[in-house]
Structure 1
């Protein structure tokens, strides 16, 4: 019996036959995908870590990352070719961000993402963004305003820290939305901004990219993206950015409203069998955290009246941005990025089945109503705005 147990233990103590030793792999932390304008081939640029340069004990003076570009007809081909140009086998499981050029996105992304999903080399939660007015590779190399020494780490933190940015999605979320019914995906946009002071160029998240089914059809600016976010974001808990409104107390002065919890609903309605309309309900909680005006509010009644006025102004601003985003999606793109069709499918599946084949055309004309409720729960005013003593 003892001999038998010893024999079995030999199998239990064996190592992982397919494990990757750290010294044998090149860890990819960022990827950029462009299209060759002459051949139409994919150009994959991979950002590899150089661990020795980041060592806390004996760091080398080398740049802490290596950029390698390969070209091929398919994503699988360019990923394999990377192994032919460096002295380690490419390891993509720790990749943090994928940037895709506008040209590649306009041709469709399923051919790209499908490779990642099937091969399982790139994990589904990696950040995913579109490069606007610049090559994807160039964005991956910009080092302006980086606290992190590796650009991919900077980009990862940029996505993590961006307030009120529902368009910052990962590969898996995009994949699900593309294959889902009644909603088209929206993806964050990375671009370069030139400045007159050092470092003379900035890399920033700005606006969003709109897709129709699988292909990029255009962009929303920052105001339109906020309108999109008002409709699609839900729930607590973290801060979701801020909006700035006229103070109403003094000309050219502003108040700052910090956005908190939000609950948004798209409510479909069908009348007479085929007349479809939608109501968008937005319930936004917020705090007043900044007041530039120095006019004194003398009592609680004046403060309450003032907050009600600010709430009204905030509701108008939110409604305006929502309508701006819907107008752009209906008139310019005919792309239901909000999930109107998805909501219709849940409440009226029979109606959806009749409309789904021509939903883009129906969505472009469908009427809607916007109801915004802004609740400023904390004013921070106490006795009113600060006023210097004479």
Structure 2
């Protein structure tokens, strides 16, 4: 019995010796975990200017200012360090550096923070519209796309104004990077929010030279709102135009991605508000090529219910009233669709909806000739459509 115990003890000891360990690990208390990145046109803060004046500069051009948002639990606390911005009681701190290489900027933080940055938990990247008009997204995000520390699920948005302001908050208990990511997950509640664009999806768009959209964020007094989208050219990867909230509603009909949210119009008899709630939508884009000319027909339909009525008119669920309501809501959706098609074709001249994908699928040979200048072809293509709205009910109101 004793011999067996000795053998088991030696066996257990031998097994322990064969186990691998985290010999190269670094404790999180010794790292600065950043969850948000903001990219702006270069603007050195007072700290950088003072350090440069003392001879602390290094060879670089001032092209971009990067803001990193560091969260509590990393670096021991959110104690304010030189050149950072962390008001008293804030649960995060923002630090900025300026240069002409994001990789160099991120490594430069090592000479001013006792605990180096780590990007495993990066949630969102905010690029200012001003910077996005000057440089392509492939240039700005090249280092980030190559960095194995950063997850490809990180989301990208464009800010109307400074990105560092988008990473600010009046609520000391709120981490703006988490807040922004949470806002973008609300697309299941309204058709005014784009499906979140991750690094992985954006990289695929840029590799295919397809024009694309990024969700736009507006900021006022450190409060934020998602509103519309920025449109980026597939060749230059630069910001070339913007879409408003109504435009995104029109795009959701064309792409069949509208799953929730209101469609509001006005009763022509009274001028009062009437509202339809979206339950579902479907879309089919049908391309045609004849004699070298490209055209499209889009079939769209939606189902939902009559949800709100400010009108004093008789809108009881009779067959006649149902037809009137469907017609008025269809006319409003038709207006949204027509306006966004006109804007994409005549003003922005970029296909961010996916018309080109349907040509590629149905006409693969012709697509090879069209793809290099697809946006120009799309801008001249004839687009027709029909939209059908099915009013399924009147909410919970009963007679």
- The answer as to whether partners of 1:263 and 1:282 remain within 8 angstroms in 2 is yes
What SS does the corresponding residue of 1:224 show, helix, strand or coil?
helix
1 CA distance for matches of 2:397 and 2:122?
A: 48
Q: 1:196 maps to what in 2?
A: none
2:239 is the alignment partner of 1:216: yes
What SS does the corresponding residue of 1:363 show, helix, strand or coil?
helix
What does 1:220-369 correspond to in 2, within 5 Å? Answer: 220-234=243-257, 239-248=259-268, 250-272=269-291, 274-296=292-314, 303-369=318-384
Q: 2:207 maps to what in 1?
A: 179
Question: Which string of whole-angstrom CA distances, capped at 9 and with x for unpartnered residues, describes residues 196-252 of structure 1?
Answer: xxxx664211111001111110111222222222222438xxx5221211134x513
What does 1:152-191 correspond to in 2, within 5 Å? Answer: 152-162=177-187, 163-164=190-191, 165-166=193-194, 168-180=196-208, 183-191=210-218
Q: 1:19 offset after TM fit, Å?
A: 3.2
Q: 2:55 maps to what in 1?
A: none
What does 1:80-159 correspond to in 2, within 5 Å? Answer: 80-106=107-133, 107-132=135-160, 134-143=161-170, 146=171, 149-159=174-184
2:30 is the alignment partner of 1:24: yes
Q: 1:285 offset after TM fit, Å?
A: 1.6
Question: Which string of whole-angstrom CA distances, capped at 9 and with x for unpartnered residues, describes residues 159-197 of structure 1?
Answer: 22252212542222222122226x42100111124xxxx
Question: Which string of whole-angstrom CA distances, capped at 9 and with x for unpartnered residues, describes residues 98-126 of structure 1?
Answer: 11011321210112323222112221222
Q: 1:4 offset after TM fit, Å?
A: 7.5
2 CA distance for matches of 1:327 and 1:296?
A: 36
1 CA distance for matches of 2:245 and 2:196?
A: 13
1 CA distance for matches of 2:261 and 2:397?
A: 23
RMSD over aligned CA atoms reads: 2.6
TM-score (norm 1): 0.84
Q: 1:383 offset after TM fit, Å?
A: 5.1
1 CA distance for matches of 2:322 and 2:248?
A: 26
1 CA distance for matches of 2:43 and 2:113?
A: 26
Q: 1:9 offset after TM fit, Å?
A: 4.0
Alpha-carbon distance change, 37 to 89 in structure 1, aligned in 2, over 3 angstroms: closer
- The answer as to whether partners of 1:167 and 1:187 remain within 8 angstroms in 2 is no
Q: 1:10 maps to what in 2?
A: 17
What SS does the corresponding residue of 2:141 show, helix, strand or coil?
helix
Alpha-carbon distance change, 40 to 322 in structure 1, aligned in 2, over 3 angstroms: farther
2 CA distance for matches of 1:156 and 1:97?
A: 7
TM-score (norm 2): 0.82
2 CA distance for matches of 1:305 and 1:85?
A: 72
1 CA distance for matches of 2:377 and 2:329?
A: 31
2 CA distance for matches of 1:40 and 1:218?
A: 26
Alpha-carbon distance change, 206 to 110 in structure 1, aligned in 2, over 3 angstroms: same
2 CA distance for matches of 1:104 and 1:308?
A: 49
Q: 1:27 offset after TM fit, Å?
A: 1.4
- The answer as to whether partners of 2:43 and 2:65 remain within 8 angstroms in 1 is no
- The answer as to whether partners of 1:93 and 1:121 remain within 8 angstroms in 2 is yes
2 CA distance for matches of 1:370 and 1:20?
A: 58
2 CA distance for matches of 1:147 and 1:320?
A: 42
Q: 1:57 maps to what in 2?
A: none
- The answer as to whether partners of 2:127 and 2:159 remain within 8 angstroms in 1 is yes
1 CA distance for matches of 2:370 and 2:185?
A: 38
